[in-house]
Structure 1
Amino acid sequence: MLSKTIIILSIIIWVYGLSVLKRAKTDAFYFLFGSVGLFIILILLSKPYGVWLFSSVVTWGVGIIGKLTGLFTTFYSSHIIQVIANHRTSILLVDYECSGIIETTAFWGLIAFYPVYRGQKRLLLGLFGFVWIYMANVIRLSFIAVTVYYFGNGAFYLAHSIIGRLIFYTLAIILYYVVFTKGQLVNRMLSH
């Protein structure tokens, strides 16, 4: 009950703050307050069902790679990636941090208030961003599972915390670069 009250109160304060900043014509503060506020609200609303959904969908996507390669299996309803190699079983859990929900909601918060885009283009870019981040996450988690298959549990930290993150964030930076620095080009592409 308390968390629902906090969420509703946060939304009311956020909407009021947006209206004040819009009337004051402070575009930069409107963008910042709107983006950060929407991100926080989406994160608050995503628990527990959004996190479960994102984790399930990502695990399912990784499972496709596992089936194609035959190197690992997944149990998407349990958010588990199972790697069996050299008579050892490794269980990888796709949790809140690995689901991609934080990165996706951050992107949605930014795109919703980025002044270069309007209406339908924001919606299309939000959907495109979701798919891009989803695929980046599937690639990252598949890389981790393949690494554990070939090199064992000792390689997990390197694959997960360093190389996997470099892969994921490089792909995320490409998305951000194109969407947020090439806005006029993206606008022209979406207009055709």
Structure 2
Amino acid sequence: MIQTPWFIVIVAGLLITISAIAHRRRWWLTYYLTGAVAFMAFTVAISLITGLDVIIMGIEAQNIAAIASFLGIPSTFLPPNAFIFPDPTGWSIFGIGFECSSIIEIGVLIGLLIFYPGYSRKKKVKYAIIGIILTYAANLLRMLSIVYIVNIFGKQYLYFAHAFIGKLIFFIFVVLLYWYLLTRPTLSIVRKNIKGGKFEF
């Protein structure tokens, strides 16, 4: 497990090298994709190496417990990254894992924004901040939907809530966010370039 983050760093280093070569040769799609994936990989590796992932998962668990309690589902934070809440048969304990922390999704989004050729540096920073906040909020909403379903219907609905409802909610939010921050502006730029006789960013 200790070696895994460093392997990710090596892979990210190879990808960023490919991205640099692609930029020099003006292979824009290769530059964009490899650069974005490399940034995501560095984000994952750094969070694992430094323990930032545990801190983020702990904060998320505290946030979920607090919001659920505010909404009428009494929940208690259990360090380092879990929380407990009632269900029809007793109590359920949820632990937030790395895959549910939204670190990967945030890393992907920021990577795509950083290497996006159509934005100024100021706009990239602005959209990155917006993207981080909304992705984090969407992940909290996803987790709260799971808590609500299990609280009402019981543990037997955990898989359904996690694998379908929660993921569907998160997927819809992420697609809308990507549309607003990346897809819509790209289509606008392409449309302007075509009208102006240009076919590059």
Question: Taking structure 1 as the reference length, what is the TM-score of the superposition?
Answer: 0.85
User: Secondary structure of 1:116's partner?
Assistant: coil
Task: Within 5 Å, give how 1:32-47 maps onto structure 2.
Answer: 32-47=33-48
Aligned to 2:199: none
User: Following TM superposition, by how much is the alpha carbon of 1:124 offset from its aligned partner in structure 2, in angstroms?
Assistant: 1.4
Closer, same or farther: CA 121–146 of 1 in aligned 2, 3 Å: same
Percent identical: 25
Aligned to 1:161: 163
Aligned to 1:69: 71
Separation (CA, whole Å) in 1 of partners of 2:142 and 2:6: 37
Question: Mean alpha-carbon deviation: is it higher for 158-167 or for 6-15?
Answer: 6-15
Task: Within 5 Å, give how 1:25-174 maps onto structure 2.
Answer: 25-48=26-49, 49-75=51-77, 77-86=79-88, 88-174=90-176
Separation (CA, whole Å) in 1 of partners of 2:6 and 2:152: 49
State the superposition RMSD in angstroms.
2.5
Would you identify which runs of 4 or more consecutive aligned residues in structure 1 move more than 3 Å?
1-16, 184-187
User: Secondary structure of 2:86's partner?
Assistant: strand
Is there any run of 5+ residues in structure 2 with no aligned partner, and where?
190-201
Q: Which amino acid aligns with 2:23?
A: K
Question: Taking structure 2 as the reference length, what is the TM-score of the superposition?
Answer: 0.82
Q: Which amino acid aligns with 1:28?
A: L
User: Following TM superposition, by how much is the alpha carbon of 1:77 offset from its aligned partner in structure 2, in angstroms?
Assistant: 3.5
Separation (CA, whole Å) in 1 of partners of 2:155 and 2:3: 41
